[in-house]
DNA sequence: GAAAAGCTGTACCAAAAATTTCAGCCAAGA
DNA sequence: TCTTGGCTGAAATTTTTGGTACAGCTTTTC
């Protein structure tokens, strides 16, 4: 769950713009500073005061007076502003696109979808191939029991993963997050076991406790989380982070689902020799029921 | 004009790329630093060491060791590299997100993701805005109890929807698909009730039966399904189809999740006046627990 | 199961950065 | 020409930051 209501919708006037407007009211050295900054905006401002001063051919104090004049409390504050402006500008192509550009499709749905797609792309970018492969390898080892778990929202994803993987291979189950429900199961968890935990912000203490306990007993922990990393990361062997920010009061789990499905697909492929007969057998059993 | 041989063809091996490749050779805390940096690349690295360390949840010395390990002489040198890389990238808009750049990330993951993204786009295209809006309207009516249900795989999505919506409003629950579990609950289902069913191919008879029974008693049925439409569509008031084909032995539910999250977001927004205090109350209750 | 190797954080120190002080300088006005 | 007001930069000062040594702990190895 994220914080409350609206986000600032208006584009704040860029600092560069303001500088151009106030240019004539500057003193000569201030103008040199301003031109220097504008000519390599905003990178010229990201160095140190001394560097900035020397490039502009003026003294450090003059640079300080310049940024003070612009209304900043000091040079670090000025730099922070530049960074934030730059970051916002760089990320905007995703966020800004299509508030109302597609005429069909529900507008709310369409813009939400664009945002989610951005998350998926970012998620893929930030996952190390080796990490992903290692997890596939781990889940493909049929001698190692696999246990899925998750928090109040992400628990559903853990269930989703479990419901697929349990058909592909054996020794797959789902563990409820509440300590009362897993405490006694822990005696069975050991070095061979693999815990796959889903946990995103508003990290849940009980899930963390479960993983810590399991890790202490030698289990291998795999964590699917957000970019800020659940505390479980401390005990996790492998971490797969997904971007989750969406134009909603809630976080989006689409990235986690993507990773989950990709993992399941990869494991299924790797275990195909044994998975195929298994899946056929499951199908047969289901049809026998009536 | 000649061919493109004159253009600098070499992709400067971005630092991010190097980090992804070496990821598995990192120590646990180094991995946290790496993930932190990659998730907000490169802005996360432009702050001070202390800031970086605290955001990554590690100590300052670990950050220093991390950048040393990457081959930099010190933190300032590391920052300078980031700035230069950023500047270079920003000055050549074409270099941004080139196709060759996309190819890294886990290959299996990347191609899977592209496929899923295609599904999401197609899903949005094929949903009638009016239908989506009507469902939002329906779920926002607090006088109407809402029941979620789904099949063996999609049940997890129904649970996911339920876990969110139950915080936004009251009278929300989840019904298990097995007839034995819902038969007796059916006497309570009537004209005011709303059933939201998730069902994709290999359509499940029990879920269909549940919806038919509910519909017969006057309930309004909303169906999230695949483009081939579950038989439930015959009794459903509203149908929201999602594309599900993925390069896997399994279908992808990402489109269904997208619709689900968009619905939850829209309903939360519409009910914000009453949802906000509710969400705060839930949060308070959770924190009281210890 | 004990010893060794390696990893991580606390506490501390050194370095460098930002900021302030102050004296000189230049231009405008008497 | 002298004075005044405000810029400007060298140097001193203060604050912040990056870097290091060391001790505790975990993991690995024999």
Chain A nearest C-alpha distance from B241 (Å)? 12
Q: How far is the CA of A74 from the C1' of D11 (A)?
A: 20
pLDDT at B8 > cutoff 70: no
Q: Which residue has the higher pLDDT, A228 or B258?
A: B258
Farthest-apart Cα atoms in chain A, separation: 90
Q: Is B167 on the interface with A (CB under 8 A)?
A: yes
A267 CB within 8 Å of a chain B CB:
no
* pLDDT, mean over chain B: 86
Check CB contact under 8 Å for B105 and A129. yes
Is residue B18 scored above 90 in pLDDT? no
> What pLDDT score was predicted for residue A289?
53
**Residues A163/B156, Cβ–Cβ less than 8 Å:** yes
Phi, psi of B187 (to 5 degrees): -65, -20
Residues of chain B in contact with residue A113, where contact means CB-CB under 8 angstroms, are 120-121, 123-124, 258, 262
Both tokens of B79, joined, read 């920052």
Residue B65, CA distances (Å) to B41, B55, B58, B111, B158 in order: 19, 16, 11, 34, 46
Residues A203-218 have pLDDT tens digits of 888 898 899 889 888 8
Q: How confident is the model at residue B225 (pLDDT cuts 50, 70, 90)?
A: very high
Chain B span 52-81 residues with beta carbon within 7 Å of strand D = 60-61, 64, 67, 73-76
Please provide the DSSP assignment of A86-128 as one string: HHHHHHHHHHHS-SS--SSS-HHHHHHHHHHHHHHHHHHHTS-
Across chain A, mean pLDDT equals 85
Split at pLDDT 50, 70, 90, the class of B288 is: low
The whole-angstrom distance between B2's CA and the closest CA on chain A is: 32
- With beta carbons under 8 A apart, name residues in chain A contacting B129: 104-107, 109
Per CB-CB distance under 8 Å, the chain A contacts of B269 are 248-249
B247 is near strand D: CB distance < 7 Å: no
C chain positions with any atom within 7 Å of a protein CB: 6-11, 16-21
pLDDT at B117 over 90: yes
State the average pLDDT over residues A157-181: 94
In this prediction, what percent of chain A has a pLDDT beyond 70? 88
- The residue that leads in pLDDT, A84 or B144, is B144
Residues of chain A found within 8 Å of residue B105, distances taken between Cβ atoms: 124-127, 129
Go through the domains of chain A in sequence order and give each one's CATH number: 15-94 (1.10.10.10), 127-288 (3.40.50.10490)
- The average pLDDT across B67-82 equals 92
Indicate whether B130 pLDDT > 80.
yes
Enter the DSSP assignment of B240: E
**pLDDT above 60 (res B47):** yes
The nt closest to B53 (CA vs C1′) is C9
Looking only at the bridges linking them, the beta strands covering B146-150 and B172-174 are parallel
Task: Judge whether B194 and B220 are in contact, CB under 8 Å.
Answer: yes
Q: Is B18 on the interface with A (CB under 8 A)?
A: no
> For residue A3, what pLDDT is reported?
43
Which positions 71-130 of B are in contact with A (Cβ < 8 Å)? 83, 86-87, 90, 104-110, 112-113, 116-117, 120-121, 123-125, 127-129
- Of all nucleotides, the one whose C1′ comes closest to residue B77's CA is D18
Cα–Cα distance for residue pair B69/A116, rounded to 1 Å: 34
pLDDT digit string, tens, across residues A23-36? 888 888 898 898 88
Whole-number Å distance between alpha carbons of B232 and A125? 39
Picking from A145-159, B29-43, B145-159, B228-242, which range would have the lowest pLDDT averaged per residue? Answer: B29-43
């Amino acid at each position: 769950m994220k914080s409350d209501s609206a986000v600032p919708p208006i584009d704040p006037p860029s600092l560069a713009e303001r500088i151009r407007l106030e240019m004539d009211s500057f003193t000569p050295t201030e103008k040199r500073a301003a031109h220097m900054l504008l000519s390599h905006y905003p990178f010229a401002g990201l160095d140190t005061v001394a560097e900035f001063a020397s490039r502009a051919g003026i003294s450090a104090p003059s640079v300080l007076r310049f940024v003070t004049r612009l209304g900043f409390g000091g040079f670090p504050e000025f730099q922070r502003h530049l960074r934030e402006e730059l970051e916002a500008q760089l990320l905007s192509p995703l966020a800004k696109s299509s508030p109302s550009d597609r005429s069909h499709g529900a507008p709310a749905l369409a813009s939400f979808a664009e945002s989610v797609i951005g998350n998926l792309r970012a998620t893929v970018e930030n996952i190390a191939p080796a990490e992903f492969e290692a997890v596939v390898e781990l889940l493909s080892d049929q001698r190692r029991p696999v246990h899925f778990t998750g928090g109040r929202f992400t628990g559903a994803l853990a269930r989703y993963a479990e419901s697929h993987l349990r058909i592909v291979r054996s020794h797959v189950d789902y563990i409820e997050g509440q300590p009362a429900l897993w405490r006694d199961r822990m005696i069975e968890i050991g070095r061979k076991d693999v815990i796959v935990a889903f946990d995103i912000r508003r990290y849940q203490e009980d899930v963390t406790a479960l993983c810590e306990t399991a890790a202490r007993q030698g289990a291998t922990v795999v964590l699917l989380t957000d970019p800020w990393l659940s505390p479980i990361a401390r005990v996790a062997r492998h971490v797969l982070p997904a971007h989750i920010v969406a134009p909603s009061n809630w976080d989006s789990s689409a990235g986690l689902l993507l990773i989950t499905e990709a993992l399941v697909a990869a494991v299924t492929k790797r275990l195909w020799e044994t998975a195929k007969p298994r899946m056929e057998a499951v199908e047969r059993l289901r049809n026998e029921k009536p």
